[in-house]
Amino acid sequence: MRFDRRSMLMGTLAAGGMPWRAEGMMTMSAAPPLPDVSEVVALWPGGIAPGPKAPFAEVVDERSKDPAIQDRAIHGISIPRMAVFRPARPNGAAVLITPGGGYSWVVVDKEGYEMARWLTARGFTVFVLFYRLPGEGWVNAPDAPLADAQRALRLIRQRADSYGLDPARVAAMGFSAGGHVCADLSARFAAQVYAPVDATDAVSARPFCAAPIYPVISMHMPEAHAGSRRNLLGDAPTLAQEIAHSPHHHIPADPPPHFLCHAEDDRSVPVANTLLLRDALKAKGARLETHLFELGGHGFGLRFTAGKPVAIWPELWLGWARSAGLFA
C-alpha cells in the first residue's frame, strides 16, 4: 500500500477520514495508513518534521503468510506520530514503545501493537512511536529517530492530564533497532538534537525508566548489527560517528533505571550489545536488572516465546517496573 504525504494531510471527512491530532491543532483529515487505531498524535506542528524533505510515499508491507496473523512493516514515514492505546482502568503510568526494524522500517504488530495491548490490559497508557528512518534523506539523519523519541516523550508528559497520567511516570521500551532508540533516549535525553519549535521542547525528555529489549547498542564492528549501522551511519562511518551513536558511550551521571533482556542465541544482534550497555550503566551506578536467556533468538517480542523460558520476560519487566515505582 502506498500513501503520499499530501493525501495523508489533506483528506476529508467525506472521504471517510477520522480525527487525528497534529501537535497544536485538531484536524479532520484522512488518517495516515498506519496506525489503524482511533487516536493518533502527530509529533510536530502541522505534522511536518524538522528538516527539509520532499513529499514521499509511505509504504506498508504485510510480511505474514498466515491470514490470521498480522506482521506489518512500514517505511517512508514522513509524518512521525504515535498510536495511542488507552486502558480501561489507567494506573497513571505511560509507556512509549519504539518498535524495531533495523532502521529499514518500523515493525508495527510484533513489536508495537501486540505489546501495547498487553500493557493496556495491565493499566498502562501506551504510545507506539512511528519514528523517521535515517536512511530516507532527513537532515541530521542519524539523530532523526532520537529527535522523534525526545519529542514524543515531551508531548506525553506535557499532556499528562488529558491522559490521566502522572507526568513523572513515563517509561520507554524498545526492541532491536527500536531498542537503540530507547537506549539512545535514556542516555541522551538532554542532548539538543533539534531546534526547539514550541513550549513542549522545554519539557524534560528523561524517561522514568527504560527497557531496551534485545537492543542494538554498539555501532562498532563486530558487535554492531550491520544493517542498523549502515542505515544509521552509511557505508563507511568514522570512529567518531560510531562513538557518537553508540549509547553505552554516553551514559549520563543520572541514568534512568534500566531493565535489560536478551537471548544468548540471538544471531542478528549479539548479546554483547546488552552486556556493553549493562557494564556502562553499572559504571554510573544505575539501578539495573538484566535477564539473559539461553534460547529465544532475535525478535521474539511476545509471539515467538511460546514453550521457551524467555516467555516470562514481560512478567519479569512488570515486577521490576513495580519495584522501581513506575506503578503501584
Q: 134 near 144, Cβ under 8 Å?
A: yes
pLDDT at 33: 63
Question: Given this model, what pLDDT does residue 22 score?
Answer: 47
Cell matching residue 145: 529517530
pLDDT at 78: 87
What pLDDT sits at residue 137? 87
What pLDDT, on a 0 to 100 scale, did the predictor assign at position 25? Answer: 34
Where do the domains of the chain lie? Answer: 79-323
CA pair distance 33, 30, nearest whole angstrom: 8
User: 159, exposed or middle or buried, with CB in 10 Å at 0-12, 13-18, 19+?
Assistant: middle
For residue 229, what is its C-alpha cell?
549501522
The number of CA neighbours under 13 Å toward the Cβ of 60 is: 16
pLDDT tens-digit series, residues 188-239: 999 999 999 999 999 999 999 999 999 999 999 999 999 999 999 999 999 9
Class of domain 79-323: alpha beta
Inter-residue long-range contacts of 302-309, CB under 8 Å, 24+ positions, other chains counted: 302/110, 302/114, 302/115, 302/118, 303/69, 303/110, 303/114
Residues of the chain with pLDDT under 70: 1-33, 53-55
Q: How high is the pLDDT of residue 6?
A: 36
Q: Where are the alpha helices (DSSP H) in 1-132?
A: 5-10, 114-120
